[in-house]
Amino acid sequence: MFLELCRLDHTLRNYQQEAKEKIFGQWDYVDNVLYQMPTGTGKTRLFTSLIRDLSLASLQENRRKGILIIAHRTELIEQIDESLNKYRIPHGIIAGAFKDRRDFLLPVQVASIQTITHPSNRQLAEAFHADFIIIDEAHHATAQSYTKLWNYYPESKKLGVTATPWRMDGRGFKGNFDTLIPSMPIKEFLEKGWLAPYKYYSVPIDSTIRSSIESINEFGIDGDYKTSALEQVVDTRRIRAQLLDSYFEFVKGKKGIIYSISRKHSKHICSQFLDAGIKIADIDSETPAHLRKRLVQNFKNGDLDIIVNVDIFSEGFDCPDLEFVQLARPTRSLVKYIQQVGRGLRRNGDKQCLILDNVGMYGRFGLPDDNRPWEQYFEGGPSSSIRQLRNKTDRDNLGLRTSCERDLSEGLDEMKLIQQVDIETESGIMVILRQEDTDESLDNIEVRSSTIYAKYNIVETNEEYFIENIRNNKRQLLCGLSGRKSISIKLMKKNNEPKGFTIISSFNRNSKPSVNDRIIGYLYREGRIIRFATWNRETIVDVKI
């Protein structure tokens, strides 16, 4: 039984350990498993722990188990190599850029899909007996090169890991994998503190640039927009001016990456930002490996503020202190969109990522923490195609209304705050603040406290405070709003009343009270009755929702 091979790994997060157990358990019934988990939640760490379990079982049984890890990019191979080294798992590397790392005597091999399936390496592939194959970024696994892999090793147990099991043609993954194991939704990762909170800014759905993008009818063989068509629409001085305006308005001085259309587009963006005194560099597929490595290191060290890239940092790039992501490249691919916005969500202290969607991609794909039917996309069919995806995420279905517009310096559409997610997890206090309507200002955001007495929130609206039953959404008025609006509502336990809370309106999201905090009132429980008293205890309200 494969589940018996799974060991408890105290270095894993609880959801990673649970994922590992599910994968081993599924291998008792099927050969090919696809596991979905969001960008930034540690899939490399997960499958490295799984490889260690297999290696230990091999030693105990005194039987060699060949393990092959497949990736399609140098950055991914380097990331896997580093993770295996941390777990002290000896391994060889089969890839063109790592010829000095080849050691076919080792039972664990990391291989480039291009190298292992190249006709000139057929004998090399057949000589290595792979009992287990791990495929990183497995949404690529339907490509012809991966079909060769299935033909080479038909008897092996296979695991594919990806954040985005989706295909533009809607054909699904059943041809390669027997089953999909989805992780918990991104919302839950955010609420539990495993991903960084964020603010999402975008041009309105009905903006001029969105209309221009939607009018493009030239597509490449992969189904995405043709680069030449995108350049005509997006690579203009007027639209590049908005990129710079957005930078200065929302993320000036922060560390970030920009996703561009092409090498030419990257150069144009770099030139414009450099003229404004910003430390920026560009990277693409033609950037020499040594230069790319140096630029990335400069970026991580803080010697560069921004790197512009052409599909280089969509996969295999980890920089936890990344502070913003700017989308300057329209796409029809849900995979690219999720991978790109997900780059900034890796948790790092109390970081909040800022996402600047200058091309309105949320209008097609929804917001980063939307729940997505991964099981349906895995199965495939007409409802999973790019056409249906667009229909499901248009502005009517998103519940979004038309945004007002104003002119910027180049006469472009205004960037609006589309969604804000703020989470505070210290001292058991959690505050979630969201804005999902494009035409609502921050003044109209409802602020909620964490849950109390198992089923209640305190809610601040524009004019009043309510207590809300989260099970049936009923509200009861507590008191009117006096003075300023809150950024968060804190619930502090009262030492002398174990069942009582002080409700505090705050201008910050720190767990500890500050001198600027304001007491709204007090909640306390007497048997089955919950009572609210105003700060001066002049008014007492019994809660009956």
Arithmetic mean of pLDDT, 118-145: 91
DSSP string spanning 243-257?
HHHHIIIIITT--EE
Give the number of other Cβ atoms within 10 Å of residue 455's Cβ. 12
Domain ranges of the chain: 2-183, 190-418, 442-543
Provide the token pair at 345: 């969500």
244 CB-side CA count, 13 A? 21
pLDDT at residue number 404: 30
Residue 238 DSSP one-character state = H
Q: Is residue 180's pLDDT more than 80?
A: yes
For residue 527, the model assigns a pLDDT of: 79
pLDDT of residue 544 exceeding 50: yes
Reading the block at residue 243, the tokens are: 């990129």
What mean pLDDT comes out for the span 285-291? 84
pLDDT greater at residue 137 or residue 399: 137
* Amino acid identity at 55: S
Q: Longest C-alpha distance within the chain, in Å?
A: 86
Average pLDDT of the segment spanning 344-355: 88
As beta bridge partners, residue 134 has 69, 159
CATH number of 2-183: 3.40.50.300
Burial code (b: 16+ CB inside 10 Å, e: under 16) for 408-440 equals beeebbbbbbbbbbbbbeeeebbbbbebbbbeb
For helices 43-61 and 74-86, what crossing angle results, to 10°? 50
With a cut of 60, say whether residue 256 has pLDDT above it: yes
> 202 vs 480, which has greater pLDDT?
202
DSSP per-residue string spanning 173-212 = STTT-SEEEE---HHHHHHTTSB--EEEEE--TT-HHHHH
Structure confidence at residue 7 (pLDDT): 94
Nearest to residue 107, comparing CAs of 65, 156, 135?
Answer: 65
Query: What's the Rg (C-alpha) of the chain?
Result: 26
Sign of CA dihedral 533, 539, 540, 542: negative
Tokens of 271: 């030139």
Residue 335 CA to its chain's centroid (Å): 11
pLDDT of residue 482: 61
Q: Do 74 and 289 touch, CB atoms closer than 8 A?
A: yes
pLDDT in tens, 44-71: 999 999 999 999 999 999 999 999 999 9
Task: Please report which confidence band the pLDDT of residue 281 belongs to, taking 50, 70 and 90 as the band edges.
Answer: very high
**What is the fold, at CATH topology level, of the domain defined by 190-418?**
Rossmann fold (3.40.50)
Helices (H) and strands (E) in the chain, counts: 17, 23
Three-class SS state of 313: coil
pTM of the model: 0.74
How would residue 492 be classed by pLDDT, with cut points 50, 70 and 90? confident
Percentage, residues of the chain above pLDDT 70: 85
435-459 pLDDT, tens digit each: 444 344 445 567 888 888 888 889 9
Look at 65-74, 247-256, 325-334, 504-513 and tell me which has the smallest mean pLDDT.
Answer: 504-513
The more confidently predicted of residues 310 and 113 is 113
- The whole-angstrom separation of Cα 418 and Cα 416 is 6
- Alpha-carbon distances of 300 from 85, 255, 284, 304, 318, rounded to whole Å: 21, 9, 18, 8, 10
Q: What is the pLDDT of residue 407?
A: 33
- Can you state the percent helix, strand and coil of the chain, rounding each to 5? 35, 25, 45
- Residue closest to 89 by CA, chosen among 62, 56, 129, 128: 56
pLDDT for the residue numbered 418? 87
What percent of the chain has a predicted confidence (pLDDT) above 90? 52
343: Cβ–Cβ under 8 A, 6 or more apart, which residues?
39, 40, 257, 313, 314, 317, 319, 322, 325
DSSP 112-146: EHHHHTSGGGHHHHHHS--SEEEEESGGGTTSHHH
Helix axes 237-246, 263-275, angle to 10 degrees: 60
Instruction: Answer yes or no: are the C-beta atoms of 449 and 491 closer than 8 Å.
Output: yes
From residue 539, how far is each of 156, 346, 407, 520 by CA, in Å?
A: 71, 45, 48, 12
Residue 484: pLDDT above 80? no
pLDDT greater than 70 at residue 423: no
User: Does the structure show a pLDDT above 60 at 387?
Assistant: no
Task: Give the count of alpha carbons within 13 A of 321, CB side only.
Answer: 8
Query: How confident is the model over 17-36, as pLDDT tens digits?
Result: 999 999 999 999 999 999 99
C-alpha 439/C-alpha 402 separation (Å) is 6
What are the strands of the beta sheet with 456-460, ordered from one edge? Answer: 447-448, 456-460, 464-469, 475-480
Token pair in block for residue 538: 């002049």
Per-residue pLDDT at 502 exceeds 60: yes
In this structure, what DSSP letter does residue 222 have?
A: T
CB 130 within 8 A of CB 87: no
In order of 225, 242, 355, the CA distances from 269 in angstroms are: 20, 11, 17
Name which residue leads in pLDDT, 184 or 470. 184
pLDDT band for position 539 (cuts 50, 70, 90): confident
